[in-house]
């Protein structure tokens, strides 16, 4: 099993995402900040994606955010069906709940980001990122199986989208309280000047 706290995602010269070992400090302020964020959140590591100067498209016209509880993308054909359904709508970011994928990261060149459990196909959150938002993506962090966030370059302020899948009332008070504590910690780590959008189920 790979310890994802030692991995991060970044673009290489060919504009594709590569996974590299995450070292404690690479000498940049950004690396230091993300190390502190991951430590403060107690997450599996801050997965970072930087926009290059040529890609630093600011979201000047706003961001269209939708949410969908897909009930599961683990079943055969579920992902293809979701893609087909999304063709009917205009969106920049779609928050996904209950995707039931394990692990965390991205696929299809950053079109979909996700965060799930280590082994069980339960819970799980994700984001489908449209082309405009993908060009403005600054970083994302798969916090845990119920929460993740992504930051986008915006104007005049950057935009943070948090996807959260809250436990139902059937869960214990302790689990519900832990969820909201984690949500509060996540929001506190994000820059105060950013516009924050919380979506989910």
Q: How high is the pLDDT of residue 42?
A: 47
Q: Which CATH class is domain 50-200?
A: alpha beta
Give buried/exposed letters for 179-195 (b at 16+ CB in 10 A, else e): beebbeebeebbeeeee
∠36-99-10 over CA atoms, to 5°?
A: 40
| Mean pLDDT (whole number) for 21-25 | 33
With 0.75 as the threshold, say if the pTM is over it. no
Domain boundaries, the chain: 50-200
Q: Give per-residue pLDDT as tens, 46-66.
A: 454 544 444 455 666 577 888
Q: Which are the contacts of 72, defined by CB distance < 8 A and separation ≥ 6?
A: 78, 98, 99, 100, 121
Q: 160-188: per-residue pLDDT in tens?
A: 999 998 888 887 889 899 999 999 999 99
Q: Coil, strand, or helix at residue 117?
A: strand
């Amino acid at each position: 099993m790979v310890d994802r706290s030692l991995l991060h995602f970044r673009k290489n010269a060919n504009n594709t995402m590569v996974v590299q070992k995450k070292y404690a400090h690479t000498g940049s302020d950004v690396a230091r900040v993300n190390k502190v964020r991951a430590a403060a959140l107690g997450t599996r590591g801050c997965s970072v994606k930087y926009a290059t100067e040529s890609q630093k498209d600011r979201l000047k016209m706003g961001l269209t955010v939708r949410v969908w509880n897909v009930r599961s993308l683990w079943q055969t054909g579920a992902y293809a069906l979701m893609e087909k359904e999304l063709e009917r709508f205009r969106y920049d970011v779609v928050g996904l709940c209950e995707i039931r994928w394990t692990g965390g990261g991205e696929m299809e060149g950053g079109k979909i980001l996700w965060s799930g459990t280590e082994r069980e196909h339960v819970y799980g959150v994700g984001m489908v990122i449209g082309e405009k938002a993908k060009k403005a993506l600054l970083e994302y962090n798969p916090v845990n199986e119920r929460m993740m966030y992504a930051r986008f370059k915006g104007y005049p302020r950057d935009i943070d989208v948090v996807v959260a899948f809250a436990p139902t009332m059937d869960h214990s008070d302790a689990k519900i309280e832990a969820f909201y504590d984690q949500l509060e910690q996540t929001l506190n780590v994000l820059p105060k000047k950013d516009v924050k959008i919380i979506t989910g189920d």
